Structure 1
Amino acid sequence: MTRELVLEGPPDLRRIYATAALKRAAGHDGLPDLRVVRRGVTVDPDNLARYARACQFTLSERLPLPYPHLLGFPLQMVVMSQHDFPFPLVGSIHVENVITVSKPLTLADPLDVAVHAENLRLHPKGRQVDLVTEVSSGDQTAWRGVSTYLARGAEHPEAVASEPPTLDALESVRSGPTWRFGERTGRMFAGIGGDWNPIHVHPILAKPLGFPTAIAHGMYSYSRCVAALQPRLPQSGVTSHVWFRKPIRLPSTVRLRTAFEHHRMLSLLEGVKRDLDHAVLEHTW
């Protein structure tokens, strides 16, 4: 039977990361049978304003499409810090995210947030798992996010990894918004979203984990993209899918190119010199 862990408040992510840095993954072949829940969550308007300003969303009563991820992320970290979770928390890589919005959420809505892990599977470069976040308003699941994390390890060439759609539709798209991500970007977004993973905070902390510089949060660069596309997106009935490719080293300058189709937008976030593909996004409705 699935165990339910009900939290009365947000967990301390700095403590979770500090503890995780001292632990090794247990090497389990299964997942914790655990559902972590917070009920009656209210959105902090100051935090929402900081998020909207940082990601360039127009501030309103309606929550930006990616924002509920920030409510579920601390609960994801509780699941991933369990002793029987098969991956190390520090070093796991966020490789993909799928968000489905069934009903628009507002600042005034009391929300129930629940997270569990599922679908542990092989990846060509190791193993991967899905952390599922469901946000409910009343009796309805209004927002669902599936965050896929990769733990590098023994290679499995026969394993199938999710791949983004082909980018042929973008061949004729030459321009788009350009953004500069400064050296402090990771610390800025960590202060908003609570993700203090060392790879985002400072190059001295990122280097032991295999990164020559700190790297931008995937959910920050993704949120910047969604903010730019938001005027063309419906308020509900939309699925937002992002594949994270090459990390964005800080500092960097990036560009978003988008092809607009009927009930679909395909986007590429790339280096300004078009030398690196950082993320592919597909929105459908």
Structure 2
Amino acid sequence: MTTHHKIFSATPSLPAMGIGALWPSPGWDAERGFPEFSFIWRDYRISKQAIGALQRIAGRADAAATDRLLLLAPHVTGFRLTLAMLMHPRWPLPIWRALQLRNRLTRSGEIKVAYPSDLIARATAWRVHDKGIELDIHAQLLQGDDCPWESITTFYYRGRFAPQFSRGAAEGAAFASPVVDATLRPVAHWNVEGDRRLRWARLTGDANPLHLLDAYARRTGFAAASAHPQRIAAQCLGHLAPTQAPMRQLDLWLKGPVYYGRDVTLRQAHAADSDDFALWVDGDERPAMVGRLSGAI
């Protein structure tokens, strides 16, 4: 297993990340596993402009919606640090084989906007099974002496790898998502407009042409370009009905693409300690995104 520690004193560069992704990957070796990388982004800040962008895409700027969006904000604006790791020349598998599968975002204190912070990303666990590898990336937001936010993002690499084994504790969102009744009355219905695509690529650092170019997406077998998952999550958080208790954890299960120009329907189920929600692309039987907001820490 190799180790590598990298400190960014400025925003990780998209061109530099792209060059790293083009470098031939070393290939998977079960004895080495994933490298023990520690990537740190010094002076990382959640800007007021980024919060404004989230509010605009969510369609709400009230206190309750903004509080939810603050739970999502580091995942949006700090995602490029995780991508920098997955696109590093020493990473054993190429970025284009990685599929974002699940997210667990946890807030344990006040998240300060425009505050000089450190963002840290590490590969902490992975599981090799018969159809691919699941990888957990742990990110932490450090603001002074506090760590008010952290996340586990689970990626999936399709393929057959041997032997089957696991390393590290699976601390992200559960393997199985909640089931939201498709007959529930919708809480919202809207069209996923295709504007601001480059804006979201800059916010997240994810310049995958599948999110930008319809022609490219069609050539690769998709119906059209699809929205960044973080963008869809922000829209869901903006449309959800109010909840009683403070929500400190957001789990997301990403089940399929949400194409630009399509109509979508959001349904929400209330429980004593959580709210489950699911987003359907109209005409599809299976939801494209499922989420759970809870007070868990």
Tell me the TM-score normalized by structure 1.
0.86
Segments of 4+ in structure 1 off by > 4 A? 59-63, 158-161, 207-210, 233-236
**Corresponding residue number in structure 2 for 1:176:** 187
Contact 1:131 1:147 in 2 (8 A): yes
Q: 1:251 to 1:172 in 2, by over 3 A?
A: closer
Which residue identity lines up with residue 213 of structure 2 in the other structure? H
- Residue 56 of structure 1, aligned match among 37, 59, 66: 59
Structure 2 counterpart of 1:224, from 218, 224, 235: 235
**Aligned-pair RMSD on alpha carbons?**
2.8
In 2, Cα distance between equivalents of 1:217 and 1:176:
22
Matched, 1:125 2:112: no
Post-superposition offset of 1:15: 3.8
Partner of 1:166: 179
Q: Report the secondary structure of 2:140's partner residue.
A: strand
Q: Which residue of 69, 80, 90 maps to 1:84?
A: 90
Change (3 A) 1:123 1:206: farther
1:250 is the counterpart of 2:260: yes
Deviation at 1:54, TM superposition (A): 1.8
Look up the equivalent residue of 2:268 and give its one-letter code. Answer: T
- Greater Cα offset, 23-32 or 174-183: 23-32
Match of 1:142, SS state, is strand
Q: 1:171 to 1:55 in 2, by over 3 A?
A: closer
Q: 1:85 to 1:208 in 2, by over 3 A?
A: farther
Extract unaligned runs of 5+ from structure 1.
none
SS of residue matched to 1:232: coil
CA gap 1:227/1:64 in 2 versus in 1, 3 angstroms: farther
Q: Cα gap change, 1:116/1:247 in structure 2, threshold over 3 Å: closer, same or farther?
A: same
In 2 relative to 1, CA 235–71 (structure 1 residues): closer, same or farther, beyond 3 Å?
A: farther
Question: Displacement of 1:98 after TM fit?
Answer: 0.5
Q: Work out which of the residue numbers 114, 121, 139 in structure 2 matches 1:115.
A: 121
Secondary structure in structure 2 of the residue aligned to 1:132? strand
**TM superposition shift of 1:218:** 1.2
Which range moves more in the overlay, 203-212 or 173-182? 203-212
SS in 2 for 1:146: strand
Aligned amino acid, residue 35 of structure 2: P
Q: How far is the alpha carbon of 1:18 from its aligned partner?
A: 5.1
Q: Does 1:260 align with 2:273?
A: no
1:268 is aligned with what amino acid?
Answer: A
Task: Find the counterpart in structure 1 of residue 209 from structure 2.
Answer: 198
Question: For 1:216-254, what per-residue CA distance to the aligned partner results, in whole angstroms no more than 9, with x for missing partners?
Answer: 111111121122238427556x21111111211222111
Distance in 2 (alpha carbons) for counterparts of 1:71 and 1:222: 14
Tell me the distance in 1 between the aligned counterparts of 2:62 and 2:274: 25
> What letter is aligned with 1:162?
F
TM-score for both structures, normalised by structure 2: 0.83
Shift of the alpha carbon at 1:64?
A: 1.9
% same residue: 22
In structure 1, how many angstroms separate the alpha carbons of the residues matched to 2:129 and 2:238?
31
Q: Is the 8 A contact 1:179 1:253 kept in 2?
A: yes
Match of residue 26 from structure 1: 27
User: Structure 1 CA distance, aligned partners of 2:56 and 2:266?
Assistant: 19
2:250 to 221, 228, 240: 240
1:18-76 CA-partner distances (Å, limit 9, x unpaired): 54246446224311211111233233222331232123341668662100112321110
Determine if the alignment matches structure 1 residue 269 to structure 2 residue 270.
Answer: no
Aligned residue in 1 for 2:8: 7
| Mean Cα deviation higher: 141-150 or 117-126 | 117-126
DSSP 3-state at the match of 1:248? coil
| Counterpart for residue 142 of structure 2 | 136
**Cα separation, 2, equivalents of 1:260 and 1:222:** 18
Shift in alpha-carbon separation, 1:192–1:38, aligned structure 2, 3 A: closer
Residue ranges of structure 2 left out of the alignment (5+ in a row): 167-173
Query: Structure 2 counterpart of 1:228, which letter?
Result: H
Mapping for residues 96-111 of structure 1, pairs under 5 Å: 96-111=102-117
